[in-house]
Amino acid sequence: MATISLSDINKVYPNGFHAVHDLSLEIQEGEFMVLVGPSGCGKTTVLRMVAGLEDITAGELRIGDRIVNDVEPKDRDIAMVFQNYALYPHMTVADNIGFALKLRKQSKDEIRRKVEEAAEILGLTEWLDRKPKQLSGGQRQRVAMGRAIVREPAVFLMDEPLSNLDAKLRVKMRAEVRRIQERLGVATMYVTHDQIEAMTMGDRVAVLKDGRLLQCDIPQNLYDYPINQFVGAFIGSPAMNLYQAELFDGGRLLKIGSQTLELPEVLHLRKPALMSYSGKAITVGIRPESLNAASVSTPSGAVLFVQATLVEALGSELMVHFSFDGTVVKIENAQDEEQEILTGGGEGVARIDPSVSVKTGDRLRLGVDMEHLHFFDQRTGDGIY
């Protein structure tokens, strides 16, 4: 087992494109680190540099105690699991799993023992004599992982390994991959563009944008304390609602469109920097789960008046899309690669209890969980804490 240490890593291509900027990251022994971000953010480039498939322009890469910038991929003691499985169609499952060991000229008995151990871990024992075309997508992915496991590497690298699976199987395989990694205790770097996958699998999650590391933390801290409005909008599903707003009355009142909310004292204690923004324009973030149908006991200073524009009944909850006269702030590449940095009408999404009767066109009183609002500097996008 080993750690992975990246210190001020840069990648500049011959055409001058700067793909990765001064990235520093440490993955501990046994840690499951997820790199997440929109397409083109540099996460796969980082993984390929660790694997030795891309040259490092500047910076230092260590695996364990060894600097490996100029070490050949085969000598880095890593195993990589690819998006497309890369199985040999003419070989059986057993031969696919044991192929790397055969290249190392290990004995047949040793290869058989390691293949059988990997198959038992992965639930593939009864499929060892099958060809890849006879397997499901999930089983093929297990074979690809088995091929990595038998090598007993110091480090696992995984490049969107579940992206070719259907939605239901992806959920199942997320748990399987995590269970296997915990059992093996190997440092793992996992790349995905799916923030739900990142949040449910990672011990820590590193959010990248435009080749820069924005924030690296445990999933709950990314959700509760996003460093800027891009991370706030990227983490969470449905995405955080972001609106132009203004603080006034010493930071006690928050105006969104024509509506005013009263901020509780506990919010100022948690975010003392808010006081300095009184009288200034800011961006406020409200997660869909922080909105629900207001009751008679909901304080008037914690209510938004909106109109339902679409209602999605999901059984355990209602997703209510709404509009009001606030001004939306949309963030480039935050869950929608077609978005640009812009402002528009006051749309939003609320996650509503399914017992509430609501249909498209209804006017609603939405209660706001005031203690869990997020605030960002409108000019820099940085979180206000």
DSSP 243-272: EEEEEETTTTEEEETTEEEEPPHHHHHH-G
> Could you report the per-residue pLDDT of 58-67, keeping only the tens digit for each?
999 999 999 9
Judge if 18 and 111 occupy the same domain.
yes
Let me know if residue 385 belongs to a domain.
Answer: no
Judge if 203 and 279 occupy the same domain.
no
Please, which pLDDT band fits residue 335 given cuts at 50, 70 and 90? low
Judge if 8 and 54 occupy the same domain.
yes
Query: 3-state class of 184 per DSSP?
Result: helix
Judge if 211 and 89 occupy the same domain.
yes
The residue ranking higher by pLDDT, 375 or 166, is 375
Last residue of a domain, one of 205, 232, 259: 232
Q: What is the pTM of this model?
A: 0.89
Residue 338: is its pLDDT beyond 80? no
> Could you report the per-residue pLDDT of 116-147, keeping only the tens digit for each?
999 998 889 999 999 999 998 889 988 998 99
Judge if 30 and 88 occupy the same domain.
yes
Judge if 155 and 34 occupy the same domain.
yes
The whole-number pLDDT of residue 215 equals 98
CA distance 164 to 158: 13
Judge if 206 and 266 occupy the same domain.
no
Let me know if residue 384 belongs to a domain.
Answer: no
CATH number of the domain to which 245 belongs: 2.40.50.140
Let me know if residue 382 belongs to a domain.
Answer: no
Q: How many CB atoms lie within 10 A of CB 324?
A: 20
Please state the domain count of the chain: 2
Give the length of the chain. Answer: 385
* β-pair type (4-12, 58-63): antiparallel
Judge if 192 and 148 occupy the same domain.
yes
The whole-number pLDDT of residue 341 equals 38
Last residue of a domain, one of 203, 232, 261: 232
Which segment of 11-20, 32-41, 175-184, 213-222 scores lowest on mean pLDDT?
175-184
The residue ranking higher by pLDDT, 262 or 104, is 262
Please, which pLDDT band fits residue 252 given cuts at 50, 70 and 90? very high
The whole-number pLDDT of residue 337 equals 39
> Could you report the per-residue pLDDT of 286-331, keeping only the tens digit for each?
999 999 999 989 999 999 999 999 999 999 999 999 999 999 998 8
CA distance 175 to 169: 10
Full DSSP string of 94-134 = HHHHHHHHHHTT--HHHHHHHHHHHHHHHT-GGGTTS-GGG
Residue 334: is its pLDDT beyond 80? no
Let me know if residue 112 belongs to a domain.
Answer: yes
The whole-number pLDDT of residue 301 equals 95
Judge if 318 and 208 occupy the same domain.
no
Q: Tell me the average pLDDT across 277-291.
A: 96
Judge if 320 and 373 occupy the same domain.
yes
CATH number of the domain to which 169 belongs: 3.40.50.300
When the pLDDT of each residue in the chain is averaged and rounded to a whole number, the result is 92
Last residue of a domain, one of 165, 200, 232: 232
- Domain assignment of residue 346, given as a range: 238-377
Judge if 223 and 279 occupy the same domain.
no
